[in-house]
């Protein structure tokens, strides 16, 4: 108890700001409603791994944080992000929204008055994204982890290591075992944490005072999963050995910024192998005969950018994803090449910021469709008209909050329709899909430093 | 195709592309089916080559999926090739109802979709890869198909409550105080999934009495793939006989006989009545387990079946079909189905497409009846399985039985030649159409199997012999003596016809009745050092090296009715003759030495007097016939001597 008091005193002494100055509050929100041509709820027509976010569902995040300590020796903050995805009570009438804790971590920076920093906790740990496709093409991790690094003026070198253990039979098994005092107690029998270690090396040149900036980022991940075994829960028989597993990912990013108002251009290339071909919040779906994921691979090439003037802007992005699963089959419907790209020209006429978005999705499997027995590339072409009000003094592509109406038409080819169940799914029958909706989107005060 | 052109324009952007040809080359792979040695494989139990398709696998349960797949079989082709077999009969490939009443469809006989593959075993590409890999090694592939029934896709709503339940009728009365003591009201129980046979069709019933045909209710249970069948044509009540489950089989039917006699008919008339009533059930009733019987008297159903199985010839280049539950379908069906398959295969350029069926019965007349006209090319020789392999090799019966069975192949069989159909239903036949034929067809079929010279082969020459299979207990379960099994294998691989070996026989598997006889092959570690494995290897080598053993005619040289201590007891000898080549096979089926003589009688041969023979089963040991061309030699217990002229 005495130690706690001392700590509080220290905090009190070192803390220089007020509650208003130190409180961190932020939010991301996307809320709306929509219809299709039949009056049903509007829906995205997505056939690739990451499709246009324009018709994404409702999503909400709230950041609550606090600068808990600030001195010349360190600046420390805590941040908790709650999140919600799904239907709202006013839509489905269900009083059961499930709020997730999306982040909860403590970060200490400027340690000893230097660029050193450290953070620990549950954290989204991300680089740059392709906004239009809602994807972080190279570096995006979600772990319970620890990171330490150093930030120079033009260089960042963070090293991170974290774990995930998904509530999935691949990584976790709970068993009820005999207990002399009760009728059994639950134990964890299979406990496989995936450890992910990442290292970023980012170097920037220029960019000061509106000058052209260039950055190069090299990135790598190492994924490790220990061995374990799974048993049948009713008899504890027939152990399924789950061998240890590994994977790695290597990536590079080249970025430019300040070549125009809010202008940026990023290109990425990354290659992931084995376990790392599946992100840390998913489990491998394909294995070799040793039940290892080592033969999975994923290659991504991506780009994104924004160019704008005071009255006009163009936001764009795209990626190519070549995925080969781990079963060793060459002719395999599960091996795919996906391509998606989107471009959004937009006018900035004061608050009125109408936009048009065109996108394409293309997905080609390496095998025959199991029902049509044809090897067909699926494609979706989409054109959207987005009259919007953006509430900013000088609106740009990324200015928010925004209220917008959306009309989108999507054209699906036969192979795309075949991605939907042939029986009982009306989507299989509709090569043309209309989307009419209204959305609000905002972000502000993000304290996360994702 | 609507926007395919736009899509294809993007294709060059990509790397890692694999282009799959939706069409495959159709090949002719068989010179003479008598050269082939079939190896029966239950895919789910042979080898797990891809853990990624192990859905619902549970090794503990004999009736669950165990993980075997086509990739596993591909991985084990070296093993199969080293054994020496030349053709694989693989279990059904089509998509099934996943499970029913705690049993799974690992065997493949519960069709839900006639045109799609069972994802437990791989995809169509993998199936094609398997067939192609086999063909590259000279191994043929025979597909197991089911034309008689589909899986349990619907139930009979007997009480019309819209639920698939068990219906009870009656109270078991009359009880004390009953007003109808002379009208018993027995307690009856019917499962709406699998009700008993009713010649009128399964009847609806409530406490108020029968109310006509029970409606069929097709299930939508995608989680176990119990959904209406594909192609959509099969989703039609009129394509099913809807009479409920077979309850009386040909080897009993006493009920019908007694019913007939009670009506005052004589014995012969009642025997005929029994036969036709039982056959009616067998042909029109659902197969036990609620497998719904297709109405193959309906021309549309027939055409539907023809089209789906023509598809499989073209889709994966199979070399033949093994047809399930043959005796549960009418002869007329196969008179239309079989030519349609042959002609279609021929139109694709595939020669020697072979179809043989399973009529699970030791009745030679029934088996043979399916081979006449333009029906199937051959049948499993169940008569030999029961009379020879079980009766003689297993149980020590007299070897004379083998000779008698052989001679019965040509015994007269009366059939009704009604148009193109050769029916066994004689009761309704115009007497002028009754014909007498050999029990097994001795006439080749149009576009049917041919020999190397292109001459047609007959069903008599193409009977498929087997010791055991997935539907009967393994030989070693019934007769737990590997030496007996090895003696039986000698007969299997030396007699005429096409030998068929059930997987695991070479590993001395000894499982009992289904499902215990469907062991996981991988528990054997695929050893090639076992005595039975080597024995089969040797027999196959000898068969391949001697054309007379493959293609030759057959003449019994010695059989006996002796089963005691007589010197020839247990001896069976036959010659296989092809042109000038003669191979004499002498098998001792018993556990004591046997001699090819009894008293003054010595075994005659076709080799002629003083012929020098070599024993190709025993390292070339020589022997000479006597001045009369006879041969008197001892054959070791449960072993053989196989002679040909010394070279």
| pLDDT tens digit sequence for A154-194 | 999 999 999 999 999 999 999 998 888 888 899 999 999 99
Identify all chain A residues contacting B58, using CB atoms and an 8 Å cutoff. 232, 238
* Residue B543 backbone class (left: φ over 0; alpha: ψ -120 to 50; beta: rest): alpha
Helix or strand or coil: residue B235? Answer: coil
By the 10 Å C-beta count (0-12 exposed, 13-18 middle, 19+ buried), B348 is classed as: middle
Of B22, B51, B60, which has the smallest distance from its Cβ to A373's Cβ? B22
Taking residues B207-213, what's their average pLDDT? 89
Using a CB-CB cut-off of 8 Å, the residues of chain B touching A381 are 3, 6
Q: Which two tokens stand for residue B584?
A: 């004499």
How far is the C-alpha of A13 from the C-alpha of A34, rounded, in Å? 53
H or E segment and range at residue B125: helix B124-136
CA atoms within 13 A on the CB side of A440: 8
Q: Which residue of chain A comes nearest to B125, CA vs CA? A: A331
Reported as a single tens digit per residue, the pLDDT across B101-142 is 899 999 999 999 999 999 999 999 999 999 999 999 999 999
Which tokens in the block code for residue B583? 């191979």
Which of A353-367, A404-418, B127-141, B270-284 comes out lowest in average pLDDT?
B270-284
Q: How far is CA A88 from CA A30, A329, B475, in A?
A: 12, 43, 66
For all residues of chain B together, what is the average pLDDT? Answer: 92
Query: Shortest CA distance to A434 belongs to which of A407, A415, A414, A416?
Result: A407
Q: Is the pLDDT of residue A297 over 70?
A: yes
Contact B17 A364 (CB under 8 A): yes
Give dist(CA A400, CA A403) in Å, integer: 9
Q: Which of A366, A381, A413 sits opposite B4 (nearest CB)?
A: A413
Does domain B551-645 fall into CATH 2.60.40.1180?
yes
Q: How far is CA A168 from CA A84, B51, B451, in A?
A: 21, 18, 59
Q: Mean pLDDT over residues A19-38, rounded?
A: 93
Q: Do A364 and B11 touch (CB under 8 A)?
A: yes
In this predicted structure, what is the pLDDT of residue B225? 96
| Segment A406-421 mean pLDDT | 96
Task: Look up the ipTM and state it.
Answer: 0.85
Q: How confident is the model at residue B628 (pLDDT cuts 50, 70, 90)?
A: very high
What kind and span of H or E run contains B133?
helix B124-136
The Cα-based distances of B325 to A257, A385, B234, B431, B614 in angstroms read 74, 62, 19, 29, 44
Give DSSP secondary structure letters for A193-213: PEEEEEEEEEEEEE-GGG--E
Q: How far apart are CA B49 and CA B74, in angstroms?
A: 8
CA-based end-to-end distance of chain A: 35
Q: What integer pLDDT is reported at residue B74 of this predicted model?
A: 98
In tens, the pLDDT along B345-359 reads 999 999 999 999 999
HEC secondary structure over B355-383: EEECCCCCCHHHHHHCCCCCCCCEEECHH
Q: What are phi and psi of B171, to 5 degrees?
A: -115, 5
Q: What is the mean pLDDT of residues B250-272?
A: 84
For residues A230 and B100, what is the distance between their CA atoms, to the nearest angstrom? 26
CATH 2.60.40.1180 in chain B, residue ranges = 551-645
Find chain A residues with C-beta within 8 A of B22's C-beta: 368, 373-375
The alpha-carbon gap from B53 to the nearest alpha carbon of chain A, in Å, equals: 9
Assign B176 a pLDDT band (cuts: 50, 70, 90).
Answer: low
Q: Chain B: which residues have CB within 8 Å of chain A?
A: 1-4, 6-8, 10-11, 13-20, 22, 48-52, 58-60, 71, 116-117, 119, 123-126, 129, 227, 315
Residue A338 has pLDDT above 80, yes or no: yes
Question: Least CB-CB distance to A331: which of B18, B51, B315?
Answer: B18
Q: Which of B48, B116, B126 has the CB atom closest to A329's CB atom?
A: B126
Q: Which of B284, B159, B167, B290 is nearest to B219 (CA)?
A: B290
How many beta-carbon pairs under 8 angstroms link A with B? 112
Chain A residue with CA closest to B2: the answer is: A413
As a whole number of angstroms, the distance between CA B633 and CA B586 comes to 9
SS3 (DSSP) at A321: strand
| Sign of the alpha-carbon dihedral angle for A135, A141, A144, A150 | negative
Q: Which stretches of B294-347 are assigned E, i.e. beta strand? A: 320-323
| pLDDT for A3 beyond 70 | no
pLDDT > 70: what percent of chain B?
95
CATH superfamily membership of B33-151+292-543? Glycosidases (3.20.20.80)
- A238:B59 CB<8 A: yes
Residue the block writes with tokens 């070399």: B319
Contact assignment for A337 to B15 by CB distance below 8 Å: yes
Residue of B8, B52, B59, B128 for testing the chain A interface, max A β-carbons within 10 Å:
B52
Confidence of residue B21 (pLDDT cuts 50, 70, 90): confident
Contact B60 A238 (CB under 8 A): yes
Within chain B, which residue ranges are assigned CATH 3.20.20.80?
33-151+292-543
Give A112-119 contacts, CB < 8 A, sequence gap 24+: A112/A73, A112/A74, A113/A72, A113/A73, A114/A150, A115/A150, A115/A151, A115/A152, A116/A148, A116/A149, A116/A150, A117/A147, A117/A148, A117/A149, A117/A150, A117/A151, A117/A158, A118/A146, A118/A147, A118/A148, A118/A149, A119/A146, A119/A147
- CA-nearest residue to A372 within chain B is B116
| pLDDT 10s digits, B267-318 | 888 888 888 888 889 999 999 999 999 999 999 999 999 999 999 999 999 9
CA distances B480 to B184, B477, B485, Å, are 50, 6, 8
- For B540, residues 6+ apart whose C-beta sits below 8 A from its C-beta are B37, B83, B84, B85, B493
| Residues of chain A contacting B229 with CB distance shorter than 8 Å | none
Q: Measure in Å the smallest separation between the Cα of A57 and chain B Cα atoms.
A: 27
Least-confidence region, from A82-96, A339-353, B14-28, B473-487: B14-28
How many other β-carbons are positioned within 10 Å of the β-carbon of residue B93?
24
Residues 6+ apart with CB under 8 A from A27: A60, A61, A62, A63, A442, A443, A444, A445
Nearest C-alpha of chain B: how many angstroms from A320?
8
Q: What is the pLDDT of residues B431-465, one digit of tens each?
A: 888 888 899 999 999 999 999 999 999 999 999 99
Task: Please tell me which residue of chain B has the smallest CA distance to A239.
Answer: B59
Q: Name the residue among A431, A339, A427 with its Cα closest to residue A137.
A: A339
* pLDDT for residue B419: 66
Q: What is the pLDDT of residue A7?
A: 36
Verify whether the Cβ–Cβ distance B51 to A333 is below 8 Å. no
Buried residues in A107-141 as b, exposed as e (16+ CB within 10 A)? bbbbbeeebebbbebbbbbebbbbbbbbbbbbbbb
Contact B14 A320 (CB under 8 A): yes
- Mean pLDDT throughout B323-334? 94
Cβ contacts (< 8 Å) between A378 and chain B: which residues? 7
A197-226 residues labelled b (16+ CB within 10 A) or e (exposed): bbebebebeebeeeeebebebebbbbbbbe
Q: Which of A367, A421, A428, A433 to mutate to test the interface with B (most CBs of B within 10 A)?
A: A367
Whether A339 sits inside 8 A of B1 (CB atoms) is no
Cα of A298 to nearest chain B Cα, Å = 11
Q: How far apart are CA B523 and CA B511, in angstroms?
A: 13
Confidence (pTM): 0.91
E strand map for B160-263: 166-169, 188-191, 203-206, 209-213, 216-218
**Where on the phi/psi map is residue B611: left (φ > 0), alpha (ψ -120 to 50), or beta?**
beta
pLDDT of residue B7 exceeding 50, the answer is no
Of A289, A325, A431, the CB nearest to B51: A289
Question: How distant is the alpha carbon of residue B327 from its chain centre?
Answer: 11
Contacts of A160 (CB under 8 A, 6+ apart): A125, A141, A143, A145, A146, A147, A149, A196, A197, A198, A199
For the stretch A204-261, pLDDT in tens is 999 999 999 999 999 999 999 999 998 887 777 777 889 999 999 999 999 999 999 9
Identify the bridge partners of residue A173 per DSSP, sorted by sequence position.
A190
């Amino acid at each position: 108890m005495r130690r706690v008091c001392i700590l509080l005193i220290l905090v009190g002494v070192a803390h220089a700001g007020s509650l208003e100055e130190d409180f961190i509050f932020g939010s991301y929100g996307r809320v709306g409603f929509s219809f299709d041509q039949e009056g049903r709820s509007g829906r995205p027509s997505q056939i690739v791994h990451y499709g246009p976010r324009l018709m994404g569902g409702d999503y909400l995040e709230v950041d609550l944080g606090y600068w808990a300590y600030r001195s010349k020796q360190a600046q420390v903050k805590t941040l908790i992000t709650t999140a919600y995805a799904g239907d709202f009570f006013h839509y489905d009438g269900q009083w059961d929204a499930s709020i997730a804790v999306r982040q909860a971590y403590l970060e200490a920076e400027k340690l000893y008055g230097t660029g050193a920093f450290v953070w620990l906790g549950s954290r989204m740990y991300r680089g740059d994204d392709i906004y239009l496709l809602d994807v972080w093409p190279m570096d995006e991790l979600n772990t319970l982890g620890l990171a330490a690094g150093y930030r120079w003026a033009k260089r960042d070198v963070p090293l991170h290591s974290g774990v995930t253990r998904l509530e999935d039979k691949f990584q976790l098994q709970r068993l009820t075992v005999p207990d002399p005092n009760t009728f059994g107690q639950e134990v964890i029998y299979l406990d496989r944490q995936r450890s992910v270690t990442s290292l970023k090396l980012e170097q920037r040149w220029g960019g000061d005072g509106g000058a052209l900036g260039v950055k190069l980022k090299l990135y790598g991940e190492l994924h490790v999963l220990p061995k374990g075994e799974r048993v049948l829960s009713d008899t504890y028989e027939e152990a399924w050995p789950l061998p240890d597993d590994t994977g790695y990912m290597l990536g590079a990013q080249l970025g430019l910024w300040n070549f125009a108002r809010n202008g940026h251009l990023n290109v990425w290339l990354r290659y992931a192998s084995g376990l790392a071909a599946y992100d840390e919040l998913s489990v491998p779906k394909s294995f070799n005969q040793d039940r290892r994921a080592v033969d999975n691979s994923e290659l991504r090439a991506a780009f994104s950018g924004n160019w704008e003037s005071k009255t006009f802007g163009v936001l764009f992005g795209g990626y190519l994803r070549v995925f080969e699963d781990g079963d060793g089959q060459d002719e395999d419907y599960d091996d795919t090449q996906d391509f998606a790209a989107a471009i959004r020209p937009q006018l900035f006429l004061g608050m009125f910021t109408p936009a048009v978005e065109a996108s394409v999705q293309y997905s080609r499997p390496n095998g025959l469709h199991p029902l049509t027995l044809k090897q067909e590339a699926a494609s979706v072409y989409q054109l959207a008209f987005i009259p919007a009000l953006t509430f900013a003094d000088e609106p740009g592509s990324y200015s928010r909050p925004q209220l917008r109406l959306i009309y989108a038409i999507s054209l699906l080819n036969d192979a795309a329709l075949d991605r939907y169940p042939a029986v009982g799914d009306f989507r299989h029958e509709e090569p043309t899909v209309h989307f009419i909706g209204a959305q609000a989107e905002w972000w502000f005060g993000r304290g996360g430093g994702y | 195709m609507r926007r395919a052109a736009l899509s294809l324009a993007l294709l060059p952007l990509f790397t890692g592309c694999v282009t799959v040809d939706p069409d495959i080359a159709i090949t002719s792979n068989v010179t003479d089916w008598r050269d082939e040695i079939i190896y029966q494989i239950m895919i789910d139990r042979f080898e797990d080559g891809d853990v990624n398709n192990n859905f619902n696998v549970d090794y503990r349960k004999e009736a669950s999926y165990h993980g075997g797949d086509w990739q596993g079989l591909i991985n084990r082709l070296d093993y199969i090739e080293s054994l020496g077999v030349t053709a694989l009969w693989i279990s059904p490939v089509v998509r099934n109802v996943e499970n029913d009443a705690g049993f799974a469809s690992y065997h493949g006989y519960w069709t839900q979709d006639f045109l799609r593959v069972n994802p437990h075993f791989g995809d169509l590409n993998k199936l094609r890869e398997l067939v192609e890999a086999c063909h590259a090694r000279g191994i043929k592939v025979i597909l197991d198909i089911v034309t008689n029934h589909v899986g349990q896709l619907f139930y009979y709503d007997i009480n019309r409550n819209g639920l698939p339940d068990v219906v009870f009728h009656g109270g078991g009365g009359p009880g004390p105080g009953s007003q109808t003591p002379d009208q018993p009201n027995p307690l009856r129980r019917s499962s709406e999934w699998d009700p008993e046979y009713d010649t009128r069709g399964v009847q609806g019933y409530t406490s108020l009495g029968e109310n006509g045909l029970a409606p069929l209710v097709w299930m939508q249970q995608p989680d176990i793939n119990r959904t209406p069948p594909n192609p959509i044509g099969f989703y039609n009540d009129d394509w099913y006989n809807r009479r409920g489950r077979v309850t009386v089989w040909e080897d009993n039917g006493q009920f019908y006989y007694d019913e007939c006699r009670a009506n005052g008919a004589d014995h012969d008339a009642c025997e005929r009545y029994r036969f036709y009533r039982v056959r009616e059930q067998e042909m029109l009733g659902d197969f036990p387990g609620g497998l719904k019987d297709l109405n193959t008297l309906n021309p549309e159903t027939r055409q539907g079946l023809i089209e789906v199985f023509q598809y499989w010839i073209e889709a994966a280049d199979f070399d033949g079909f093994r047809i399930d539950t043959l005796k549960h379908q009418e002869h007329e069906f196969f008179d239309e189905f079989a030519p349609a398959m042959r002609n279609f295969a021929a139109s694709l350029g595939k020669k020697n497409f072979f179809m043989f069926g399973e009529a699970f019965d030791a009745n030679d007349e029934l088996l043979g009846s399916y081979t006449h006209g333009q029906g199937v090319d051959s049948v499993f020789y169940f008569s030999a399985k029961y009379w020879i392999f079980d009766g003689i090799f297993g149980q020590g019966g007299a070897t004379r039985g083998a000779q008698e069975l052989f001679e019965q192949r040509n015994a007269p069989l009366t059939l009704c030649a009604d148009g193109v159909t050769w029916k066994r239903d004689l009761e309704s036949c115009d007497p002028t159409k009754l014909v007498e034929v050999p029990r097994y067809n001795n006439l080749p079929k149009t576009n049917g199997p041919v020999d190397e010279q292109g001459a047609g082969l007959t069903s008599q020459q193409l009977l498929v012999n087997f010791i055991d299979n997935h539907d009967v207990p393994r030989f070693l379960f019934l007769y737990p003596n590997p030496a007996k099994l090895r003696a039986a294998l000698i007969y299997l691989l030396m007699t005429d016809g096409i030998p068929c070996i059930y997987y695991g026989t070479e590993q001395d598997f000894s499982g009992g009745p289904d499902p215990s006889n469907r062991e996981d092959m991988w528990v054997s570690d695929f050893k090639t050092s076992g005595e039975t494995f080597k024995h089969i290897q040797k027999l196959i080598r000898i068969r391949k090296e001697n054309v007379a053993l493959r293609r030759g005619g057959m003449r019994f040289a010695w059989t006996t009715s002796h089963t005691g201590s007589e010197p020839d007891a247990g001896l069976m000898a036959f010659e296989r003759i092809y042109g000038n080549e003669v191979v004499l096979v002498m098998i001792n089926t018993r556990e004591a030495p046997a001699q090819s003589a009894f008293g003054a009688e010595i075994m005659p041969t076709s080799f002629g007097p003083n012929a020098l023979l070599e024993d190709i089963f025993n390292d070339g040991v020589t022997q000479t016939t006597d001045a009369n061309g006879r041969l008197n030699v001892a054959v070791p217990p449960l072993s053989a001597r196989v002679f040909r002229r010394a070279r």
